[in-house]
Amino acid sequence: MKKRLLSLCLALVMCIGLLPLSLSADEPVYLALGDSITTGYRLAEGESGFATLVAEANGYELVNAAVNGATSSDLLQSLESGEIDPSDAELITITIGGNDLLGALFNYLAEKWNEDEAHADEADITGTELISSLFAGTPDTTVITTLVGYLSGFASSEQAAATLELLAQNLTDIVAYIKNENPDVRIVVATQYNPYSYFASAYGMLVKQISTIAEMFTANVAVLNEVITESAEPLGYIVADVYTAFEDAVAARINPCNPSIGADYSIDLDFHPNAAGHAIIADTVNAAINPDGYTVTNQLSNITTDNTVSQRRPDDAEDYTAVLTAVNGYKLPETLTITVDGTALTEGYTYDSLSGQLTIDAASITGDLAIIADGVIINPFIDISSDDLFYDDVMFVYENGLMNGDSATTFSPYGSLTRAQIATIIYRAAGSPEVVGDVSFTDVPDTAETEWYHDAVLWAQQMGVMQGYGDGIFGPADILTREQLVVIVYNYAKLLGLDSIVSDVPAGDLSGFADAASVSSWAVDAVQWAVTAGILTDNGSGLLDPTGNAARVEIAVMIHNFMNFLTLSGING
């Protein structure tokens, strides 16, 4: 158990070990200070850390004096001892505080673990052991659950309060020392990010404890960032709000950190930024140090750039260049839309959709730039392969916005759907029209603000696409059966004014199915029509299985078949 506990350190601990660096450059211009975020820990060969990107974007000579595992006390000691001389720097960035808080966290976790009666027969474990003893492998979910229970009280603990008080004092002393040695230097302090936000949104269904861990990190990081932001004005430094930048990236379905689950479901809990994350940090620092420059914002879905948001002064007369890279199942768009202060450029830029190379002429840059064309989806789902028979069906419903995955990277083809979810899918297929009126079902909330499926259920009822069970109950959470799905599609076809086409389809002969007699009387007409129209096929075992649960992939196949039916009938496309 102790060994499994130690494996969890991969999720929380900053790497420790390297000795501090001293400045050796003759004319340092940009001095990067801090911990493993600044060193670029775990970046692959050829990938650039944010400090390198900032230096390149602004023409600085970089001296990176960051140390893996450094705390605020370590940084202060390195400055006061003369190991680091900030006197000649024009710009200084600092990433610090994460190891301070994590050290306190591990001591707190060790204390709670040792106090737990469930571990009374085990030798006590120390916070130092938790930090220094790393064990590769997939964490034990039982241990994760136990630690999650401990985590909930850390933010209000004495350990956290004492650590944050020390961090605030150290940050004050660090900035004061630098300002004393170099009064005119610009100092940028980065806020801490939550490394598990994307992990929780993408994989929370697979590892449910991840969502709770992400929530705990949000609470604890918020307190740390409060120290950083509230000290900025009185101490005279600039804040680079990396936390918000990373959360914005997560909202755009971009993973800025290493935590992930592989196609083989192996878990990587390392919390450091990946290359995309470092680009975002660089963008955030660039924006902070050049408030009078222009901005370049990337509004492409799941398309990163090596210079997503760059701030430079217009009088630099430099071309803007970037390389776009597709991630998470997307591909590069064939064309881009570039705007300057909201007006689209018709010339003055070049873009290669194969290499992703983008160049915008300096003469065209008279204001803020935006790259706003949509990215193109290929397949974001790790559980859907191009070799699957239903691949095209899943991609059809996904690309047309009819069905989403149950996470950013999983479709769960054999999972089930509820009646509320199918109502929403058909509602989307109809274009999500505005609805007016009240829902008559007692188990459906009165407004869309109360429940996400309200409008879809109201529309489906009003249009005769779906009905309840006859007792005022809709059953939004009930799992959809195959024959229910067929009836819904059948009703939708008639709603589209396809009564004549529906009636022209001869009643199918269900005698070839051994379980034909099990089709409910109210579903027979719809099932016969769907079989003849090629919308409904057997369940893979030669059976209709009318009362069996409709798998998500079956719904995707049926909807795709239905849209093909409309096309062949001359109604769609």
- DSSP letter for each residue of 120-179: TTSPP--HHHHHH----SPPPHHHHHHHHHHHTTTTTSHHHHHHHHHHHHHHHHHHHHHH
As a whole number of angstroms, the distance between CA 352 and CA 347 comes to 14
Q: Is the pLDDT of residue 385 over 80?
A: yes
Q: Which of 61-75, 113-127, 311-325 has the highest mean pLDDT?
A: 61-75
Give residue 312's pLDDT band: very low, low, confident or very high (50, 70, 90).
Answer: low
Mean pLDDT computed over 236-250: 93
- Give me the pLDDT at residue 391, please: 87
As a whole number of angstroms, the distance between CA 211 and CA 196 comes to 8
Give residue 378's pLDDT band: very low, low, confident or very high (50, 70, 90).
Answer: confident
As a whole number of angstroms, the distance between CA 568 and CA 520 comes to 29
User: Which string of b and e fits 354-369 if b means at least 16 CB within 10 Å?
Assistant: eebebebebebbeeeb
| Higher pLDDT pick, 197 / 203 | 197
**Structure confidence by residue, pLDDT tens digits, 314-331:** 556 688 888 898 876 678
- Residue 54 φ/ψ, nearest 5 degrees: -65, -45
Q: Which of 60-74, 419-433, 459-473, 500-514 has the highest mean pLDDT?
A: 60-74
Q: Considering only 291-300, 301-310, 471-480, 515-524, which range has the smallest mean pLDDT?
A: 301-310
Give residue 129's pLDDT band: very low, low, confident or very high (50, 70, 90).
Answer: low
As a whole number, the mean pLDDT across the chain is: 82
What residues are paired with 357 via a beta bridge? 323
CB of 313 closer than 8 Å to CB of 292: yes
Mean pLDDT computed over 10-38: 59
Q: Does domain 2-289 have CATH number 3.40.50.1110?
A: yes
3-state secondary structure 505-566: CCCCCHHHCCCHHHCCHHHHHHHHHHHHCCCCCCCCCCCCCCCCECEHHHHHHHHHHHHHHH
Quote the tokens at residue 498: 């396809």
Positions of E strands within 296-455: 296-298, 303-305, 320-326, 330-331, 338-340, 343-344, 349-351, 357-360, 369-371, 376-377
Mean pLDDT computed over 446-462: 84
Q: Is the pLDDT of residue 254 over 90?
A: no
Q: Per-domain residue ranges for the chain?
A: 2-289, 303-377, 391-568
Q: Is the pLDDT of residue 140 over 60?
A: no
Q: Is the pLDDT of residue 79 over 90?
A: yes
- Residue 273 φ/ψ, nearest 5 degrees: -65, 145
| Tally of residues, the chain | 573
Q: Is the pLDDT of residue 16 over 70?
A: no
Q: Considering only 13-27, 66-80, 503-517, which range has the smallest mean pLDDT?
A: 13-27
Q: What percent of the chain has pLDDT over 90?
A: 35
- Give me the pLDDT at residue 24, please: 42
Q: Is the pLDDT of residue 158 over 80?
A: yes
| Higher pLDDT pick, 408 / 114 | 114
Mean pLDDT computed over 373-377: 77
- Give me the pLDDT at residue 151, please: 77
Q: Considering only 9-18, 215-224, 314-323, 542-551, which range has the smallest mean pLDDT?
A: 9-18
- Give me the pLDDT at residue 261, please: 63
